[in-house]
Structure 1
Amino acid sequence: MEVTDLLPSSRLLSTEPVGTQVDGGDGCPDPGSATAVRVVLDTSVLVADPSCLASFDTAHLVIPLTVVEELDGLKTRPDDVGRSARAALRALEELRMANGGSLATPAPVGAGTLQIEINGVQKHLLIEHGLDPAVPDNRIIGAALGQTEHGPTVMVSNDAALRIKAAHLGVSAAEHQPSRAARPERRIGWGVVETAYETIDCLYAAGSVAADAVPHGATIGENEFAVLRSGSQSALTRRADDEFVLLPQNVPEAWGLRPRSKEQRFALELLLDPEVSVIALDGRAGTGKTLLAIAAGLEQVVEQQRYERVAVYRPLVPVGRADVGFLPGGLDEKLDPWMAAIHDAIVALTDEGCSNDAGRLVDELTCRGQLSLESVTFLRGRSLQRQLVVIDEAQNLEPTTLKTILTRVGEGTKVVFTGDTSQIDAPYLGESNNALAVLTAAFAGQSCFGHITLTACERSDVASLAAELL
């Protein structure tokens, strides 16, 4: 059986049109119907997206009791995984209380149903295929095998190994996709649009043109950028309300840093615009995400005095999850290894690229209260006023942490999320369900939000080759 990608609320979860499913008498499809698709959820889905239970349209959700046991074991963790486990358990408890005190039989959830499966684990099939029934993941697969006897079944999990094993045993397997952009392809924040030369002439003459005067102009969202082309003519524009506005001829500069590509130019336009208060910068290593954010922050704090402080936060997630254990020293000394990337960015912004000069600059700005380097761990309960906040490595944050961060934002504060959604070191997260991807999908089209995906590596020739070839 082929492993497939499946959106949870897609009609792909139904083998027949919704109208052909049998009504169970309470307005929900009958889970015993031969046309009813049964969706078995893994623990990783509920940890990554605790509020997903109502997002599967007419599917009949089945949660093996093993999943509840695993959530129970995770709920005491002090991190985002523990918080998500508690939220998922609360959602199940509320549903149980609303449906007579038990989920042993299907309970209505939206247009579908949900039940907790206690029996039906096909242990003999697991043993036949060399899988240990005592392993929780294998028991979840065994429960999915039991559901195949009642109708079409899909195993939904963020665990690639579990999906592979389930598909090998004949159960259709899919990855959970909690965030759905309005377009089939992921937004990159800019695009190239072919238009008539008269439109470009009008743009240069008036400074802007109506969006409906540009073919396919509707595909460019609010605060996204378009390169309008007509033969050898071209113009860099930004979508603002119902117009494409010509970018200024003077290239923006931040703390002595000039953009090396049109993508970096677009990013700086957003970073230096006080009206855009939430920004997401995505891109592979070496594209300049962190460097641009730090340069724009220093420019607006030290030179323009638009904000009082550049506050840099990073998640403490080791590369490859190879934990180095306890670090010696006080809090600042413990955070130093995690903040080395920020120090490197400031080194690149000094006149001679000198580490000593960068160290002195960091110390001076820190003493003046214009720069702080902290862990995301310490954000809860804070209220961030008149600060430019940089959340680095945001791809390693859960969506629940994203909400925690954005609800800390006070008046006059700008938040910049940077990260590479292709390099994720946190468990239970993938390219589609991390904080950066969820933010881009949820805030798309808002006037306070801007997003750019950087693709050109500008760090060095070696870094560019490594990103391309490895």
Structure 2
Amino acid sequence: MKKICVLDTNVLLHDPLAMFSFEDNEVIIPAVVLEEIDSKKRLADEIGRNARFVSRELDRIRANGQLHNGVTLENGGILKVEMNHRHYLRVQELFGEMTNDNRILAVALNYFLEEQEAEDPRPVILVSKDVLVRVKADVLGITAQDYLTDRIAADNEQYLGQITLHVHPSVIDEFYNHRILNVSELRLNVQLHPNEFVILRDEMGTSKSALLKVSPDGLRLEPLHLSNESVWGITARNAQQRMALELLLNDDIPLVTLTGRAGTGKTLLTLAAGLMKVEDEHKYKKLLIARPVVPMGKDIGYLPGEKDEKLRPWMQPIYDNLEFLFDTKKAGDLDKILMGLGSIQVEALTYIRGRSIPGQFIIIDEAQNLSKHEVKTIVSRVGENSKIVLLGDPEQIDHPYLDAQSNGLSYLVERFKDEGVGGHVTLEKGERSRLAQLATQLL
């Protein structure tokens, strides 16, 4: 049965192609949504870009018919701009002031009541990324859903970059004897991905085990190339950190993603690897470290000083890790070191747009606050002989329209899991301190 889907403004600002994502159902855009989109189109950030894109698409569709009467889309659905708010008094009685959210609810309520009187009523669904709007819709008896079309795999299906397999002990012995295993000969009932880490454990219950990595072509299981040695004074404290260093120090893997809770060592490990590659091995000309000024694209404001001084509060977590790695003792020592080296640049993501970045080790911190489009923009800036590492915790998102399944970092992990140029590890164990580990678990 076909449905009527009423879209909230935040759905279109989150995904400007959302109006085409409902197959052959009828998509309703309340008139007040157009007003809200119009108020956002002058913004210089991702929301402004999406508002302008939606405006252009609506203008293009308008050429095929009058939007208030409904226009048939290429996928067989119907797009309609609805002006009718006649049930707003009932909404106002329940929720007080007639806000834009309540006007959208009134449109959904109007369709819901009209369908109840029809011989063959169609389901009416309000689609919104605003939790309270969905709660209000439930109070009115209207079905409400989050916009889920752009989400990646569910929590229990997300790619971790590692897998534990219980095998016969002879398989582990064969690996230690020949230092390689052919995936086809193992006859596994799971799919392995390029550069995925595999922990082999004895199915008989002994302590015999092995840590391997899938080859970039996905055909073999190979040993890790790095021993558990110190990298700029940092040594891996657990298996996942060792996996992370294996990817970070491998020049043949230009894209690395690391996810994990606070305190798992993502940023510190990456900075240590970057410093080794730039300062010791001279594999890259520069170490570029960036993080979004949330929300990305906003001006850094009216803080006093030049650009670097304005950026300092936003970039302080990066500087804290650099102070630890350089073992600075006094305030100002780090600035002198960075000025002397000249090969380390700390930047806001706002200034990366439009650049081509060759020959650099690029670190993008807090990447969970990026949308799919922003991640595409950043990764597509990477030039020849560069390596990019994106870090973040998908459970700590400050962006109003993103969550653990729809943010750009999770999207990037999922889309590149079958590509030999990329590698991913999910760090699970906190190493900052016992207190920090308990805080992430209990609070």
What TM-score comes out, normalization by structure 1 length?
A: 0.85
2:129 is equivalent to residue 158 of structure 1: yes
Secondary structure at 1:73 match in 2: helix
1:367-398 alpha-carbon deviations (Å, 9 max, x no partner): 43310011111112211010011111112222
Give the CA RMSD over aligned residues.
2.4
Structure 2 runs not aligned, ≥5 long: 116-121
CA displacement at 1:130 relative to structure 2: 2.8
Q: Is the alpha carbon distance of 1:58 and 1:211 closer, same or farther for their aligned partners in structure 2, counting shifts above 3 Å?
A: farther
Q: Distance in 2 between matches of 1:129 and 1:314?
A: 43
Please tell me whether the aligned partners of residues 287 and 455 of structure 1 are also in contact (alpha carbons under 8 angstroms).
yes
Secondary structure at 1:228 match in 2: strand
1:101-147 alpha-carbon deviations (Å, 9 max, x no partner): 53631422424332222225521331342343x31111112222223
CA displacement at 1:228 relative to structure 2: 1.3
Q: Distance in 1 between matches of 2:371 and 2:293?
A: 13
Question: Which residue of structure 2 lines up, in the alignment, with residue 141 of structure 1?
Answer: 105
Paired residue type of 1:52: A
Q: Distance in 2 between matches of 1:305 and 1:217?
A: 43
2:224 is equivalent to residue 247 of structure 1: yes
2:84 is equivalent to residue 119 of structure 1: yes
Equivalent of residue 71 in structure 1, options 37, 56, 60: 37
Q: Distance in 1 between matches of 2:283 and 2:404?
A: 34
Please tell me whether the aligned partners of residues 293 and 300 of structure 2 are also in contact (alpha carbons under 8 angstroms).
no
1:14-41 alpha-carbon deviations (Å, 9 max, x no partner): xxxxxxxxxxxxxxxxxxxxx2122222
Q: How does 1:35-46 map to 2 (within 5 A)?
A: 35-46=1-12
- Once the two structures are aligned, what percentage of the paired residues are identical? 39
Equivalent of residue 238 in structure 1, options 192, 213, 218: 213
Q: Is the alpha carbon distance of 1:242 and 1:57 closer, same or farther for their aligned partners in structure 2, counting shifts above 3 Å?
A: farther
Secondary structure at 2:73 match in 1: strand
CA displacement at 1:362 relative to structure 2: 5.0
Paired residue type of 1:468: Q
Secondary structure at 2:273 match in 1: helix
Q: Is the alpha carbon distance of 1:441 and 1:121 closer, same or farther for their aligned partners in structure 2, counting shifts above 3 Å?
A: farther
2:321 is equivalent to residue 356 of structure 1: no
Q: Is the alpha carbon distance of 1:414 and 1:154 closer, same or farther for their aligned partners in structure 2, counting shifts above 3 Å?
A: same
Question: Which residue of structure 1 lines up, in the alignment, with residue 422 of structure 2?
Answer: 449
Question: Which residue of structure 2 lines up, in the alignment, with residue 27 of structure 1?
Answer: none
2:162 is equivalent to residue 190 of structure 1: yes
Equivalent of residue 146 in structure 2, options 175, 188, 206: 175
Please tell me whether the aligned partners of residues 309 and 386 of structure 1 are also in contact (alpha carbons under 8 angstroms).
yes
Question: Which residue of structure 2 lines up, in the alignment, with residue 100 of structure 1?
Answer: 65
Question: Which residue of structure 2 lines up, in the alignment, with residue 8 of structure 1?
Answer: none
Please tell me whether the aligned partners of residues 289 and 346 of structure 2 are also in contact (alpha carbons under 8 angstroms).
yes
Q: Distance in 2 between matches of 1:216 and 1:228?
A: 12
Question: Which residue of structure 1 lines up, in the alignment, with residue 273 of structure 2?
Answer: 296
Please tell me whether the aligned partners of residues 45 and 158 of structure 1 are also in contact (alpha carbons under 8 angstroms).
yes
Secondary structure at 2:336 match in 1: helix
CA displacement at 1:466 relative to structure 2: 1.0
Q: Distance in 2 between matches of 1:208 and 1:95?
A: 57
Secondary structure at 1:336 match in 2: helix
Secondary structure at 2:23 match in 1: coil
Moved more, 299-308 or 63-72: 63-72
Equivalent of residue 344 in structure 1, options 299, 309, 320: 320
What TM-score comes out, normalization by structure 2 length?
A: 0.90
Please tell me whether the aligned partners of residues 301 and 308 of structure 1 are also in contact (alpha carbons under 8 angstroms).
yes
Paired residue type of 1:329: G
Secondary structure at 2:330 match in 1: helix
Q: Distance in 2 between matches of 1:179 and 1:427?
A: 15
Q: Distance in 1 between matches of 2:269 and 2:45?
A: 30
CA displacement at 1:303 relative to structure 2: 0.7
2:201 is equivalent to residue 229 of structure 1: yes
CA displacement at 1:438 relative to structure 2: 1.9
Structure 1 runs not aligned, ≥5 long: 1-34
Aligned residues: 428
Paired residue type of 1:340: Q
2:54 is equivalent to residue 88 of structure 1: yes
Paired residue type of 1:187: Y
Please tell me whether the aligned partners of residues 301 and 307 of structure 1 are also in contact (alpha carbons under 8 angstroms).
yes
Paired residue type of 2:163: G
